Amino acid sequence: MKELPALGNDATVRLSRQGGQVTTMTRPREIEFAQCNVDEREQICNVLNRCLPQTSTDVGRGDQRFYQIEVRYRSDNRDDQLRFTVPEDQASEELKRLWDKGQV
Amino acid sequence: MSGQRHYLGFMPPYILNRLIDHGSEWQRSRALKTLTHVRQFLPATARQSQASVAEAHQPGQLQRNIYDAQHLTVLPGALVRVEGQRASGDVAVDEAYDALGATHDFFWQVYGRDSIDNRGFALAGTAHYGEGYENAFWNGAQMVFGDGDGEVFQRFTRSLDVVAHELTHGVIESEAGLVYRNQSGALNESISDVFGVLTRQYVLKQTAEQADWLIGADLLTDKVKGKGLRSMSHPGTAYDDPVLGKDPQPAHMDDFINTQDDNGGVHLNSGIPNRAFYLVAIALGGSAWERAGQIWYDTLCDKNLDNDANFQAFATLTVQHAHQRFGTEAADAVRKAWEEVGVGLAGESPNERTSGLG
Ligand SMILES: [Zn+2]
């Protein structure tokens, strides 16, 4: 995946920190685009797009943590979903901040 | 995939070799590519320590290198204590040194296993990783320990079973290479818990009856309502706390968690094989590492254990190894334990079992 698809008003982004010895502290954060203004949406999309080169499906081994990004959106009049994972040691500060504080 | 995954560069050559021998097509091609570059990516210190081990290694000889990440997340960090050096005075560093030594000693004395690769792999551990970091892990080349946030978690070097759990991840990677996803991933987690807890029982000279069967009992602060990270005897009961939440582990196949999270619930569903092991250990009695542990160790090292084995495949092999090493009675105890957690054996329907191996 080179770039996220265009995300509209109906998109939802869910960020969680997964893996590791402590399973109950994933602290999932859901961001509904309907609650964001156009600028915020664009900034969130930029953060996520910049994560794409760091994504990997081979994550978690030996209790290594990773960030999971799930995007639910509508495309061609149907519901669609994207999921990708970024190893913790590759995750950008802006992604961690978006998960931790919900801020861009 | 673009860019270099740094920890692939840290992956020890024996794992790459194993991937080349046993891995999927994709793993093989990646491992081959990485192997040719692995020397240049290995940190100089790790490269030297592995080389010196290969040159003059006495079987069973322990080699430890402990690093200090100084609260950064760069590995391995500054080398602060090498094998034979006296205590550094830094509690986490010295705990890591002692715990890795105890784990090495356990595997060597009990199963005749010489470190992670059974060829004297030099053990590297990094303490003080990150800021308030609430985790410990094995990255394919070394063990890494956070200090905890101090509110919920104390430093992760405090629990010998957690340190031994991480080292066992290395052993699993160099043996069965259980894929870290779904049931094979939960087995990977469970086996790490098994040898983690056995290391502690061995050091404390506890019988199966005396042991608490907790993982990470020394990690939680007084503020947390809980006993540890996981309970192998009663999965799902380790903690119930406003901050930490409730221990989500199932203890029976009826409660198996189907999820995409946590690599398919590897730290969740491991409760099921964990309890099976506990039941075997109690049924066989005495020191759990002697018989129950030996059966699990034989199974882990069995070439017939596929890297994508599910609970049933693993359970079936444990019954075979129990029979081979300890006879019919032990095999029956193992079979019964798996039955009690709802895991059936391959080639058997629940109502037509015969006693012993048919
Ligand atoms: Zn683990």
Same domain, B151 and B287: no
- CB B185 within 8 Å of CB B196: no
In this complex, is the C-beta atom of B236 within 8 Å of any C-beta atom belonging to chain A? no
Same domain, B41 and B155: yes
Residue closest to B162 by CA, chosen among B236, B224, B239, B218: B218
| B202 is a domain residue | yes
Q: pLDDT tens for residues B139-165?
A: 999 999 999 999 999 999 999 999 999
Query: Is B189 labeled as catalytic in the residue annotation?
Result: no
Query: Is B95 labeled as catalytic in the residue annotation?
Result: no
| Per-domain boundaries in chain A | 12-101
- Residues on chain B touching A18 (C-beta within 8 angstroms): 261-263
| B334 is a domain residue | yes
Cα B116 to middle of ligand 1, angstroms: 15
Say how many C-beta atoms besides its own lie within 10 A of residue B176's C-beta: 26
Q: Is the pLDDT of residue B337 over 60?
A: yes
Give the residue numbers spanning the domain of B25: 8-175
Give B326→chain A minimum CA distance, Å: 31
In this complex, is the C-beta atom of B266 within 8 Å of any C-beta atom belonging to chain A? yes
Interface test with B, best of A61, A64, A83 (most B CBs within 10 A): A61
Q: pLDDT tens for residues B15-70?
A: 334 444 444 444 444 444 444 333 334 444 555 556 555 566 899 999 999 999 99
- Residue B141 to residue B170: CA distance in whole angstroms: 8
The last residue of a domain, from among B140, B175, B210: B175
Please state, rounded to an integer, the average pLDDT across all residues of chain B. 87
Same domain, B32 and B119: yes
Strands B143-146 and B123-129: parallel
Same domain, B125 and B194: no
The last residue of a domain, from among B117, B141, B175: B175
Q: Is the pLDDT of residue B11 over 50?
A: no
Mean pLDDT, residues A15-28: 93
CB contact under 8 A, B245 and A24: yes
| B137 is a domain residue | yes
Same domain, B57 and B153: yes
| B247 is a domain residue | yes
Which chain B residue has the Cα nearest residue A19?
B262
Give B294→chain A minimum CA distance, Å: 22
Cα B2 to middle of ligand 1, angstroms: 28
pLDDT of residue B324: 98
Same domain, B290 and B243: yes
CB contact under 8 A, B246 and A25: no
Per-residue DSSP letter, B86: P
Q: pLDDT tens for residues A75-86?
A: 888 999 999 999
In this complex, is the C-beta atom of B268 within 8 Å of any C-beta atom belonging to chain A? yes
- Residue B223 to residue B252: CA distance in whole angstroms: 30
| B248 is a domain residue | yes
Active-site residue, from B166, B175, B189, B290: B166
In order of B18, B170, B210, B325, the CA distances from B32 in angstroms are 10, 20, 47, 37
Same domain, B19 and B152: yes
Same domain, B48 and B189: no
Give B220→chain A minimum CA distance, Å: 11
| B3 is a domain residue | no
Q: b/e per residue, B324-351, with b = 16+ CB within 10 A?
A: eebeeebbbbbbebbbebbbbbeebeee
Same domain, B244 and B285: yes
In order of A91, B35, B125, B188, the CA distances from B115 in angstroms are 32, 21, 14, 18
Active-site residue, from B128, B267, B321, B323: B267
- CB A33 within 8 Å of CB A10: yes
CATH code of residue B93: 3.10.170.10
Cα B292 to middle of ligand 1, angstroms: 20
E strand segments, B149-308: 214-215, 230-231, 240-241, 245-246
| B2 is a domain residue | no
- Residues on chain A touching B164 (C-beta within 8 angstroms): none
Q: Is the pLDDT of residue B354 over 80?
A: no
pLDDT of residue A6: 86
pLDDT of residue A25: 85
Strands B123-129 and B64-68: parallel
Which chain B residue has the Cα nearest residue A53?
B2
CATH code of residue B197: 1.10.390.10
- CB B257 within 8 Å of CB B248: yes
- Distance, CA of B163 to chain centre: 9
pLDDT of residue B49: 59
Give B17→chain A minimum CA distance, Å: 18
Cα B325 to middle of ligand 1, angstroms: 28
The last residue of a domain, from among B175, B198, B222: B175
AA identity, residue A80: D
pLDDT of residue A56: 95
Same domain, B258 and B142: no
Same domain, B317 and B239: yes
Q: How many domains does chain B have?
A: 2
| B95 is a domain residue | yes
